[in-house]
């Protein structure tokens, strides 16, 4: 097993706690499924949210999925002029047998435009 990093992002339609939980939950589920991971494979997860998202912590979505014994942290994304709005980004550190090239980075919806080079 190796320690690998998995990236992902989703753009929310609005700043609403229920919507955030739904969308971030979908993102986390897709990251786990596309990389053949389970919650026990997670080492830690770092979430960032753009400054216009204030309704909830993105990590609350992980807790709602039952990811309760993994260190999670939230931070604010840099406020860059012209950057995509209402985006939650994820950086998950995982234990996996996948190679770096085998990792599926997940960018849902419009967030796929953020990293066309690695989005799957």
115 is in an annotated binding site: no
For 14, the domain range is 2-119
CB neighbour burial string for 54-84, b if at least 16 within 10 angstroms, e if fewer: eebbbbbbbeebebeebebebeebeeeeeee
pLDDT (0 to 100) of residue 55: 98
Closest Cα to residue 56, out of 99, 8, 88? 88
Region of 38 on the Ramachandran plot (φ > 0 left; ψ -120 to 50 alpha; else beta): beta
Mean pLDDT of the chain: 95
pLDDT (0 to 100) of residue 119: 59
89 is in an annotated binding site: yes
CATH code assigned at 36? 3.30.1330.40
CA distances from 6 to 11, 31, 51, 56, 81 (A): 17, 8, 23, 23, 26
Mean pLDDT by 10 residues, the chain (120 residues): 97 98 98 98 98 98 97 97 97 97 95 76
34 is in an annotated binding site: no
pLDDT (0 to 100) of residue 112: 86
User: pTM surpassing 0.85?
Assistant: yes
pLDDT (0 to 100) of residue 70: 98
Number of domains in the chain: 1
């Amino acid at each position: 097993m190796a320690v690998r990093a998995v990236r992902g992002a989703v753009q929310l339609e609005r700043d609403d706690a229920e919507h955030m939980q739904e969308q971030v939950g979908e993102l986390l589920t897709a990251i786990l499924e596309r990389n053949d991971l389970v919650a026990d494979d997670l080492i830690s997860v770092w979430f960032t949210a753009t400054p216009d998202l204030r309704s909830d912590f993105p990590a609350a979505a992980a807790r709602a999925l039952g990811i309760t014994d993994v260190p999670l942290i939230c931070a604010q994304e840099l406020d860059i002029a012209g950057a995509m709005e209402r985006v939650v980004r994820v950086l998950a550190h995982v234990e996996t047998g996948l190679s770096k090239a085998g990792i599926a980075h997940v960018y849902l919806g419009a967030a796929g435009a953020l990293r066309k080079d690695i989005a799957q």
